[in-house]
Amino acid sequence: MRKIPKFKNVQDEMKFWDKHDDWTPYFDMAKPIAVKVELEKEKGEILILRLQKSLKKHMAQIAQEMGVGVSTLARMWLVEKSLTVK
């Protein structure tokens, strides 16, 4: 069993695990482990959009298939597009 090193910060830990595709030597698969994840929630601003009913209905169908809400889908698409436009 290999020992998991102490990390200075989350970024160092992410780099370590990115380089180790096989994590099984670090964990005893017979023992349960506790994992605590803390996510920072950033308050966003509100943007109101007017859409045609047919477009909103189509987006709702896509969102349902993806298992997310319509607002989440719209936000995902806006973020994707904003990252591709310079």
Q: Count CA within 13 A, CB hemisphere, residue 12.
A: 6
More confident residue, 6 or 41: 6
Q: Which residues contact 72 (CB under 8 A, 6 or more apart)?
A: 63
* pLDDT tens-place string over residues 36-70: 888 878 888 889 999 999 999 999 999 999 999 99
